[in-house]
Chain A
Amino acid sequence: MQGRLLGLAALAIAGSISSCSSPPPPEARLSDSIVLTKHAPDASFGSYHTFFIRPEIRVLADGESADSIEDRYAAILLAETTQNLLARGYEQVDVKADAELAVEMVYVRSVNSGTACYSWWDAYYWGYPGWAYYPYYGCTSTAWRVGTLATMIVDLTPARNEAGGDADGGAPDSAAGAAGAAPREKLLGMIWFGGVYGVETGYTESNVDRARHGIEQAFAQSPYLVTSP
C-alpha cells in the first residue's frame, strides 16, 4: 500500500512540475530578430513634409566615445531608410535648418545602465543647442538593448518656429516643445522609433542584410508614417 501511494505521489509530482512549464526566457527569445516600432501618441505625421537624415550611423556604448559604422555598410542602411521615407511622401532636404523632421540612425553596442541613453543624444548636431531630445518613453524602456539598430525621427518644428524658420507644418502648439517637457524646458519630441534587434556587432554582409530587412519591416508595420499631400 505504501509503495502504491509513493508511486501515485511520484506521478503527481512529475505531472505537476511539467504542467507548470513556461515559454523560453527573454534572453532566449531575443536571439531572434525582432522589429519594434513605437510612436508618440499625439504625433501628426501627416503635418510634416521634409526631413534630413544624418549621414552616419553612430555606435553607442556606455563610457566610450562615439564611433560610427563603416560607411560601406552604413550607406546601405541609410539608403533603405531614405527610400522608405520618400515612398511615404516626405521630401529629403540637404540643409538641416530646412527640415521639419530629423532622422537619425544609431547602433547600440553596449548598455550598462538603464539611464545611459540620456547622454546619447546630440541636439547640437541639429543646430538647436538650446533644445534637448530623448525618447518620449524614456531610457528605462526595453527599447535599448545590445545589438539594436535604432532609427529615430525627431520633430524639429518647435525649435524652427522659435528660431523664426518655416512655420508650416509641425505639431500644433509646437513652440511649447514636445509633450512631456517640463515647464520652460525646450524639448524636441522623438515621434517615431524603429528598433531592429538581433543585429550582430560584426558588420558582415548578412548582418547588414538582416538590418536592412528590419528597416523595411519597421516601415511596413507603421502605415501611419505618411505625409499628407
Chain B
Amino acid sequence: MKPTQSVRLIALLSSLAGAASAQTVPAPASPAAAPPAPVLAPAAAPAPVAAPAPVAAPVPVAAPAPVAAPAPVAPSTEPALVPVPPRPDPTNSNRPRRFLVGAAWNVAFPVGSVHDFTNATSALGFEFLVRYFALPQLSIGASTDFQTFIATRPRTTYPIENGAVTATAYNSVQSAAVRASVHYYFLKDGPVLPYAGGNIGVSWSTFQSAAADLAIYDNQTSILLGGDLGALFPLQNSSLTLMTALRYSALPSAEFLEVSDVQSLTLQFGLLTL
C-alpha cells in the first residue's frame, strides 16, 4: 500500500468536493444548456440625416435626403432576437438521455468470514464504471473493479502437507469483478442526486497466505451480489460529477481455508463525466 498515493487521492477528491459544495444545479452538456444569448439582428446603420438645404430662395422644400433602405422593424431600445431552441427542462422526462463514465477509488472493509483472514481496511481499490440513464431517474450500468485486502495476522500455527509452520502470516485477497447495475435516483434534479441500486456480476479472487517463503494460494470464481446507497454531485458549468457511495458486496462461492465467503462494505469516491 502506498500511503502517499492514498493521501494524494484524498486531497484530489477533497478539493473537488470542496468545489462541488459551491455549485448548484448541474449544467446539461448539450449546447442548449448555455443561457440563450441574445443575438442581434443585422441592424441597419442609422440613416444619415440630410442637412437642411440652404434656403436661398423660396424654393420648394428640398427633397428629403436619401434614406437607407427601411430597417426591419424593431423595438427602439432592444436588439432583435433570433429564436433559439428552448432550454431543456432538467425535470422533463424527455430530456436527452445521457451516459456517465468515470472511475472511483474504493475503500473496503471486509466483513463476514473473510474478516478473520484479512481484517484490515483496504484502501487498495479502484473501479471503472459507466451508467446510462434509461429514464430520468433510472440508470443501468456496468463496471469493473479491483480490490486488494492485505493483513498481517498474529503469529499462528498453520497446517501444511505432512507438517505445520508457525509464523506471522501475511494474508491477502486480490479480487477483480465485473458488474451489471441498476440505480434509482430519488430526485430528478438538484445539486445532490441520492440514489439506491443493486448489482450482480462475477468475481475472480486470489487468496494467499504466506509465511516465510511458504505460500498457500488459490483462485476462486464466484457470483457477485451487491447493493449500494450513494449520491451524485453534479458540478455546475462542468460536465464533471462527483460520486460517493456505500456498497455491500457478497461473493458466496469464494472459499479458502477458513474463509467460507467474502463480504465487504465499500466506500466509494468517484469522478464521473458526461
Contact = CB atoms under 8 A, between A and B. Distances in A.
Q: What is the interface of chain B mostly: helix, strand, loop, or mixed?
A: strand
A36 B167 CA distance: 9
B211 interface: yes
A22 B149 CA distance: 9
A23 B150 contact: yes
Contacts of B164: 36-37, 221-222
Most central of B1, B126, B240 by chain A CB within 10 Å: B126
A11 interface: yes
Nearest to A195: B165
A127 to B, nearest CB: 29
A150 to B, nearest CB: 13
A18 B123 contact: yes
Most central of A16, A35, A41 by chain B CB within 10 Å: A35
Contacts, number: 117
Interface residues of A, number: 36
B214 interface: yes
Given A4-B240, A19-B126, 10 more contacts: A4-B273, A11-B12, A15-B9, A17-B2, A19-B174, A21-B150, A24-B170, A35-B165, A38-B162, A39-B163
Contact of B146 (A16, A30, A38, A193): A16
B212 A39 contact: no
Give the size range of B's interface with the partner.
Answer: 35 or more
A14 interface: yes
A18 B5 contact: yes
Interface in A1-53: 4, 7-8, 11-12, 14-24, 26, 29-30, 32-41
Interface of A: 4, 7-8, 11-12, 14-24, 26, 29-30, 32-41, 142, 193, 197, 217, 220-222
Interface of B: 1-2, 5-6, 8-9, 12, 102-103, 105, 123-128, 146-148, 150, 155, 157, 160, 162-168, 170-172, 174, 208, 210-214, 239-240, 271, 273
Contact of A14 (B8, B147, B170, B208): B8
B37 to A, nearest CB: 21
Nearest to B210: A23
A99 B214 CA distance: 34
A34 B5 contact: no
Nearest to B1: A21
Given A4-B240, A8-B271, A19-B148, A36 B126 contact: no
A221 B158 CA distance: 9
B105 A15 contact: yes
A15 B208 contact: no
A118 B15 CA distance: 64
Given A11-B105, A15-B105, A23-B150, A35 B166 contact: yes
Contacts of A30: 212-213
A220 to B, nearest CB: 8
A217 B166 contact: yes
Given A35-B167, A221-B164, A221-B166, A19 B147 contact: yes
Nearest to A196: B166
A18 B211 contact: no
Contacts of B1: 18, 21
B165 A36 contact: yes
B172 A23 contact: yes
A15 B126 contact: yes
A5 B168 CA distance: 43
A8 B105 contact: no
Most central of A15, A29, A221 by chain B CB within 10 Å: A15
B212 A34 contact: yes
20 contacts: A4-B273, A7-B271, A8-B271, A11-B9, A11-B271, A15-B146, A19-B124, A20-B146, A21-B148, A22-B174, A23-B171, A29-B167, A29-B212, A30-B213, A36-B212, A40-B162, A142-B212, A142-B213, A197-B212, A221-B166
A37 B214 CA distance: 13
Contacts of A197: 212
